[in-house]
Amino acid sequence: MTGERMEGKAPVDREIPSGRRNSQGIRIDPETEAELQERRAVISALVDHEPGVLANVSGLFARRQLNIESLTVGPTIDESKARMTIVVEEDEPGIEQAKRQLRKEVHAWSVREVKGAIERELSLIKVSGDDPAGVTAVAEMYGGQAVQANDEIITVELTGTEADIDAAIRAFEQFGVHEVARTGTAALASGTQSTT
Amino acid sequence: MSKPQKTTDTTDPSTESQDLSETKSETTTEEQTTGANSVVAALEKADVEITFGVQGGAIMPVYDAMVDSDIHHVSMAHEQGASHAADAYGIVSGNPGVTITTSGPGATNLVTGIADANLDSDPIVSLTGQVPQDMVGNDAFQETNTMGITAPITKANIFSTNPDTVGDDIGTAIALAAEGRQGPTLVDLPKNVTTGETDVEPSIPTTPESYQVPAPEADSKAVRAAAEALAGADRPLILSGGGVIKSEASEELREFAIEYGIPVVTTMPGLGSFPEDTALAMEMGGMHGTGYANMSLSHCDVLLGVGTRFDDRLTGGIETFAPEAEVIHVDIDPAEISKNIHADYPLIGDAGAVLKQLHDAMPKSPDAEAWRKRTQEWKAEYPMGYETPQDEAIKPQFVVEAMDEAAADDAIVTTGVGQHQMWAAQYWTYTEPRTWVSSNGLGTMGYGAPAAVGAKLAAADTQVVAFEGDGSFLMTSQAIAPAVREELDITIAILNNSYVGMIRQWQDAFYDQRRYESKWDWGPDFASLAEAYGAQGLQAMAYDEVPEVIEEAFAYDGPSVIDFHIDQVADVYPMVPSGGNNAEFALEEDHL
């Protein structure tokens, strides 16, 4: 704080451009700019089946503050590789950033958003056993089945889309739901399309 | 050279007795090949000439295997210093700098340097010792989860599990650090892997098949569209980043800018990518950039950003950054495109190759005569300058200019972090790539002295000058010891204001002048400290002493430290406050 002043016009005396960018760095008209909408995206990544890859990927999403809804990983027909299915809830730039950062993972062979994919999730739901007939009926309605039962608890196995399972759990709530375990979404591209 | 005596192994605190006997038996014959030998063979195969590091229990087998190698190992006094020296070596030479350190603290002390390299995309390879695999996870002595700690700050890290493949792991790490967007890699070396037997020779360093680097050339249609936008611009501007230097594209950039008459702003890591002594140079932009650079950035209508990640210290607030400009963004890393600033014309590829493409695709020069005139007017309107009343304390800017004047034209500058770093960036005239060696992204105080060691070892025939602050220097000043031992002809200039000055400046400006814990008048006498290490120690308190101490330091064949007692309250201006509008840069505190 020497009180010295460099030569030049003070900020208030300068010509300042009036344009603006939004938080994504896109030039905008502030009057008409709409908020970016988040959407659900299913990203499939083929990665080396090695220790540490899952930690790297989950760490990557955490430190970039990308919202993961679910992340599943399992072997593929190639023993050396695993498939990760990551469901994210982000705006368009966020989804793009997630894919690009994931592609930089040295162990990732390919990364792709699968749109219109076949999506399934497995769930186990423990329901109160007071009304076995009712529970079985609801389970059948959602394409599931009771896999274990005693006087107190009926355990139902159910496969479906994330939305199907959400709906089934809501339906079971009338009997009392004790515990739920869900695998998260696994996905493959539809029909003859290759996923990755 | 003789092998270390076997009895030294018994002092190794991290080795179990069983493990110890293995180590002994393997060092008895020259012909035996171990994982450690394979590590050293891989370094040699990758043409690594110099390594930096610190000995330690779990890494002893690798050090033992280096006894017969031609690789020059430089023991640093602290692993952090080793990582910065390797980083500077990487910046100056363009080849990955390599560190060899032990497990536990040997690895954690590297973390700052690895994070530093990660943010500046500098190529370094860290080889860390690790406890034997059968002890991993047992909280063994000097065990730490090096893989877990370094995963978020490395481009890739590898846990070696087999003496047969450990050499290839090293090669992979070296190739990954250097290819595509450069960055830090690490190989964790469990002791049983380095002591284990192998007869497999490491292959030529190569990146894994899964690693994808974009092609050097960008999509030609995208290039044509970008070239047309640039040619049609009224107010074109180039923003040259560190990627231009990393891809050896400074010459292409210079030719492009001059042929098409486009002014150039550089980022801080981009200093030296465009010669600052030319009319088109607007010099550094951003928080402490020149007024004319920031005016140019704010008023341009097409901005060609090359090898830059549009860091917040450069852009200021995103809302007001180059608000009228269409952006052409050239980068080798697709993830940088539209990460911070939306790219209207993304060109993914190598800076040099894409600049050549753009050069060929330009239909004409932009009609930018009036704009060039305006940028020159800004240069006259917002000159970089300071006053030097001879009866007052020395102005730090004067020291930087006096050093620049006296130094060779191609001298390399390293810096610590703080006010001195900004003055070194502002008042030294950079004309050559790889002459600015600094901690740009992470802002690591203490980077300057160990970086000078690494820079000098990478460029033995080039003059190396380190600027440090008194606070910054105190963090890693033990790096003088290896500089003395290695007889490195370097000059460390401390701009000593008895403050951590950038904090003091912010306290004055933003915290009602509450100078809490920023006055560091308790530091040592740096000239005496230098002498205690066996270096030349000098001191300047007044203007008339400045030329003579510089002359004395430059004449001395070895490390010199000059303690310049500067104006304690000199501030760094111009300044764009964090998140502010670049066009509203302050020229004094009242403007903030």
Asked if B151 has any chain A CB less than 8 Å from its own CB, the reply is yes
pLDDT of B22 over the 60 cut: no
The answer to whether residues A123 and A84 belong to one domain is no
A140 and A88 in one domain? no
Domain that holds residue A123: 118-188
Task: Domain B6-195: give its CATH code.
Answer: 3.40.50.970
Question: Residue B178 corresponds to which tokens in the numbers above?
Answer: 């250097």
Q: Which residue matches tokens 């006096």?
A: B402
Partner residue opposite A11 with nearest CB, options B333, B508, B586: B586
Is the CATH number 3.40.50.1220 carried by domain B220-381? Answer: yes
Contacting residues for A82 by C-beta, under 8 A, at least 6 apart:
A46, A47, A48, A49, A53, A73, A74, A75, A76
- Given A3, A7, A63, which is nearest B382 (Cβ)? A7
% of residues, chain A, pLDDT over 90 = 81
**CB contacts < 8 Å between A and B, how many?**
132
pLDDT on residue A30: 62
Whether chain A has a CB inside 8 Å of the CB on B324: the answer is yes
- Based on the fold, state whether residues A131 and A90 are members of the same structural domain: no
CB-based contact B184:B151 (threshold 8 Å): no
B517-534 tens-digit pLDDT: 999 999 999 999 999 999
Buried b / exposed e over B341-358, threshold 16 CB at 10 Å, is bbbbbbbbbbbbbbbbbb
Q: What's the CA gap between B80 and B107, in Å, rounded?
A: 9
pLDDT band at B32 (very low <50, low <70, confident <90, very high): low
Q: Choose the final residue of a domain: A48, A79, A113.
A: A113
CATH code of the domain in which A48 resides? 3.30.70.260
Same structural domain for residues A124 and A168? yes
Cβ <8 Å between B208 and A106: yes
Q: Rounded distance, CA A1 to CA B73, Å?
A: 46
Q: Is B389 on the interface with A (CB under 8 A)?
A: no
| ipTM of the shown complex | 0.90
Q: Is the pLDDT of residue B28 over 70?
A: no
Q: Once rounded to an integer, what is the mean pLDDT over residues B155-174?
A: 97
What is the band of A51 on the pLDDT scale with cuts at 50, 70, 90?
confident
Residue contact B382–A100, C-beta within 8 A: no
Q: How far apart are CA B452 and CA B87, in angstroms?
A: 10
Residue B422: active-site member = no
* Range list for CATH 3.40.50.1220 in chain B: 220-381
For residue B495, the tally of other CB atoms under 10 A from its CB is 32
Per mean pLDDT, which of A30-44, B24-38, B493-507 is the most reliable? B493-507
Please report, rounded to a whole number, the percentage of residues in chain B having pLDDT higher than 90.
94
Minimal C-alpha gap between A121 and chain B (Å): 29
Q: Please, which pLDDT band fits residue A29 given cuts at 50, 70 and 90? A: confident
B137 in contact with A, Cβ within 8 Å: no
Chain A: closest CA distance from residue B4 (Å): 36
User: Does the active-site annotation cover B141?
Assistant: yes
Q: Domain boundary residue among A113, A134, A163?
A: A113
> What pLDDT was estimated at residue A23?
85
Report, as an integer, the average pLDDT of B487-502.
98
| B50-99 tens-digit pLDDT | 999 999 999 999 999 999 999 999 999 999 999 999 999 999 999 999 99
Give the separation between CA A145 and CA A157, rounded to whole angstroms: 6
pLDDT at B15 over 70: no
Cα–Cα dist B343/B299, whole Å: 17
Is B79 one of the annotated active-site residues of the chain? Answer: yes
Domain co-membership, A50 together with A104: yes
Q: What is the CATH number of the domain that holds A178?
A: 3.30.70.1150
**Cβ of residue B321 closer than 8 Å to a chain A Cβ:** yes
**Total domains present in chain A:** 2
The C-alpha of A117 sits at a distance from chain B's nearest C-alpha, in angstroms, of: 24
**Residue where a domain terminates, one of A84, A113, A142:** A113
Across chain B, mean pLDDT equals 94
* Residue B24: pLDDT over 70: no
Q: Which CATH class is domain B396-573?
A: alpha beta
- Are A51 and A70 in a shared domain? yes
Same domain? For A107 and A137 the reply is: no
Residues of chain B with CATH 3.40.50.970: 6-195, 396-573
Residue A33 included in any domain: no
Query: Does the pLDDT value for residue A2 go beyond 70?
Result: no
Angstroms from B19 CA to nearest CA on chain A = 26
Residue A146 placed within a domain: yes
**Distance (Å, rounded) from C-alpha B35 to C-alpha B58?**
13
Query: Residue B17: pLDDT above 60?
Result: no
Tally of CA atoms within 13 A in the half-sphere of B101 that contains its CB: 30
Instruction: State the Cα–Cα distance between residues A83 and A61, nearest whole angstrom.
Output: 17
Q: Give B14's pLDDT tier (boundaries 50, 70, 90).
A: very low
Angle at B55 between CA B51 and CA B59, to 5 degrees: 90
Instruction: Flag whether residue B567 sits within 8 Å of chain A, measured between CB atoms.
Output: yes
Does A147 map to a domain? yes
| Domain co-membership, A109 together with A123 | no
The pTM assigned to this predicted structure is: 0.93
Predicted confidence at residue A196, as pLDDT, reads 78
B142 catalytic? Reply is: yes
Confidence category of residue A81, pLDDT binned at 50, 70, 90: very high
CB contact under 8 A, B587 and A21: no
Top pLDDT among B5 and A179 is at A179
Give the pLDDT confidence of B378-430 residue by residue, as tens digits: 999 999 999 999 999 999 999 999 999 999 999 999 999 999 999 999 999 99
Using CB atoms, which residue from A1, A97, A109 is nearest to B508? A1
Q: Which of A106, A107, A109, A110 to mutate to test the interface with B (most CBs of B within 10 A)?
A: A106
